[in-house]
Amino acid sequence: ALHDALQHCDLFFCNAPEAMAVTKKSDSSEAFESLKELVPNCVVTDGPHGAFVFYHGEQAHVPSFPCEPKDLTGAGDMFAGAFLYGITHGYAPAVAARGANYLCMHVITQIGARLIEDAPTLWQDALEDYRADDVGG
């Protein structure tokens, strides 16, 4: 039933264990490669190992931000929402995923799924860090 539903899916978000269950692969990167055959666009989050992104033909692996997680509640929802925000506001998929990873880092280092800090400010912080990394700083 799931494989039938995937035929109608434009963008599939899942975490690594879900991707491995759907594709029957034992490795998250292999599962990601298999998912690309099933759906036109997909994102596989892999916790501390970052996220795999395939969107409109662009592919990237975006590392996570190191942190000490306190509560994983809401991490997937935060990632999906922030990624969708990014791509609908003209950001490249890898940049959108970086912003999403940054907001996720903030949500999992607190207790509860609602961000304590201001999401738009955090998004801008993520982009500033990205630009600094781009120029080697």
pLDDT in tens, 35-82: 999 999 999 999 999 999 999 999 999 999 999 999 999 999 999 999
Which pLDDT belongs to residue 105?
92
Indicate the pLDDT class of residue 19, thresholds 50, 70 and 90: very high
Residue type, position 22, single letter: V
pLDDT beyond 80 at 132: no
Which pLDDT belongs to residue 136?
38
Write the DSSP string, 5-59: HHTT-S-EEEEHHHHHHHHT-SSHHHHHHHHHHH-SSEEEE-GGG-EEEEETTEE
Which pLDDT belongs to residue 126?
82
Side-chain half-sphere exposure of 51, counting CA atoms within 13 A = 30
Which pLDDT belongs to residue 1?
73
pLDDT in tens, 78-94: 999 999 999 999 999 99
For residue 52, the tally of other CB atoms under 10 A from its CB is: 24
CATH number of 2-134: 1.10.10.10, 3.30.750.24, 3.40.1190.20, 3.40.605.10? 3.40.1190.20
Tokens 């000490």 — which residue?
A: 68
Note the pTM of the prediction, 2 decimals: 0.88
- 26 Rama sector, left if φ>0, alpha if ψ -120 to 50, beta otherwise: alpha
